[in-house]
Amino acid sequence: MDIIETIKEQIANNPVLLYMKGSPNAPQCGFSSKASQVVMACGEKFAYVDILQNPDIRANLPKYANWPTFPQLWVGGELVGGSDIIAEMFDNGELQPMIKAAVEKSEA
């Protein structure tokens, strides 16, 4: 399967998806650590992809997403942003309902 198709499938099949360096339990950079903590604090299950273990995704996702950096949070098939943006949205109370709605929609 083409790597772009793989990325599209991952985004389509996971209502909340975090592309990050490492895993939520063992992040490999400060930004990924911050992002995974924020998403975990929203209280819903989410999927993640360790881009350090997936060099093709690491190389191609920035072009596909038109977003140059990691982590990247995707909710309901849409790119939300990186760690600073999602932390700000969490602090403003915008992220929690967005994630909850995406999870509920996927379970319906």
CA distance 30 to 92: 21
User: Is 42 annotated in some ligand binding site?
Assistant: no
Query: All domains of the chain, ordered by start, with CATH?
Result: 3-90 (3.40.30.10)
User: Is 21 annotated in some ligand binding site?
Assistant: yes
Res 1 pLDDT > 90: no
How does residue 99 score in pLDDT terms, banded at 50, 70 and 90?
very high
Average pLDDT, the chain: 96
- Mean pLDDT computed over 94-106: 96
What Cα–Cα distance (Å) separates residue 14 from each residue in 41, 98, 103? 18, 14, 9
What DSSP string describes 8-64?
HHHHHH-SEEEEESEETTEESSHHHHHHHHHHHHTTS--EEEETTS-HHHHHHHHHH
User: Residue 65: how many CB atoms within 10 A of its CB?
Assistant: 16
Closest CA to 24 of 45, 54, 55, 3: 45
Q: Whole-prediction pTM value?
A: 0.96
User: Is 50 annotated in some ligand binding site?
Assistant: no
Cα 87 to the center of its chain, rounded Å: 13
User: Is 58 annotated in some ligand binding site?
Assistant: yes
| Block residue for tokens 């949070």 | 73
pLDDT for res 83: 96
Q: What is the pLDDT of residues 65-80, one digit of tens each?
A: 999 999 999 999 999 9
